[in-house]
Amino acid sequence: MTARQARLLMLSDLMLLGVAVVWGTSYGIAKQALQHYPVLGLLALRFGLTFVLLSPTLAGLRGIPAASLARVTGAGVLLLGIFLCETFGLLLTRASNAAFLISLCVVLTPLIEWLLLSRRPGRLEWMAVLLSLCGAWILAADGAWSLSIHPGDALVVLAALLRAIYVCAMKHSMGRQPPPALTVTALQAGVVSVGSVAVAWAAGAAGAAGAAGAAGATTWPLPPLPGFGTQSAFWFCLLYLVGACTLFAFFAQNYAIKRSSPTRVALLMGSEPAFGALFAWLWLGEGISLSGWIGGGLIVTASLLATVRWRRAVTPAHNVPGAAEPT
């Protein structure tokens, strides 16, 4: 390896570590934003702004087969379901729990591939599944050792399952002429934004109908936007989620993955939940019990086991547009 190659490898590793840090902090940042604005409004704003910033890339849709566009749009609807579950779950549970539990998607993805594409997981992957389930139970129980699971934790686990389905759908259904990655991100960001507004309108309409009867008038379901002066923390959180967690992270991971080995990618990105828990402790003051660290540690270990072995034989999930983006 030449000195230039060594410098590029170090740069790519630092960028991947930066992505892990940014995505880890996103859970605490999003939870703080939810103190100022509801879930559907935050999603509509975040992905609407992302769509506007990336809209010039929509020129890449020219010449793309209609079937490919339909699959990408359909996956965007699935992405909407992921973020609805993940963000509502984050609202109801601790940011540290969400950071650890969403990592289950790495372990669940080989199982989804087995169900949909008949690719049987290996022995180490089965071990990772059992390890991660034990970790999720310990984390969710939080020392109570009961079989019940908190609704917020359950929503995040459902988001992890949907994310695993999304990874498989995107990886195996793009066709021979897929749109450029940034174009896919822009298109699906638009789907998530419009979908969030539609869900908010439907929920508001249903609530108004239930309160005022069939003839009751419906009103716009989202509250006014937070003020720039009085609630500037919300706008900081929103810009951080768009600029750092979406635009920077997307560029950095695509730059680094081309230059790092799959194992290095897995090890560096696997540190994301730990950064998420640490940031939740420092930023939000969340207390993490010993059982929480044990359960989260088991999930991270299981994710590394599954990812390192799986990436040797299959295209890395982080190469799928939008597949690895968290909250």
**CA 219 to the chain's CA centroid:** 31
Give the global pTM: 0.82
Query: Are 131 and 106 a contacting pair, CB within 8 Å?
Result: no
Is 227 contained in some domain?
no
pLDDT at 273 (0 to 100): 85
Q: Which percentage of the chain shows pLDDT scores above 70? A: 79
pLDDT tens figures, 36-56: 999 999 999 999 999 999 999
Is 89 contained in some domain?
yes
Residue among 84, 38, 112 nearest 191 (CA):
84
More confident: 24 or 7? 24
Strands (E), the chain: none
Structural domain containing residue 78: 3-204+234-319
Is 214 contained in some domain?
no
Is 219 contained in some domain?
no
Sign of CA dihedral 288, 289, 290, 294: negative
Residue 94: which H helix or E strand, with range? none
With b meaning 16 or more CB within 10 Å and e meaning fewer, what string describes 259-273? bbebebbbbbbbbbb
Is 70 contained in some domain?
yes
Q: Tokens for 262, please give them.
A: 């799959």
**CA 290 to the chain's CA centroid:** 26
Q: Tokens for 27, please give them.
A: 């859970």
Give the span between the Cα atoms of 276 and 323, in whole angstroms.
18
Is 210 contained in some domain?
no
Mean pLDDT of 101-110: 82
pLDDT tens figures, 51-71: 999 999 998 888 778 888 888
Task: Domain count for the chain, please give it.
Answer: 1
pLDDT at 277 (0 to 100): 87
Give the span between the Cα atoms of 42 and 30, in whole angstroms.
9
Is 165 contained in some domain?
yes
Is 217 contained in some domain?
no
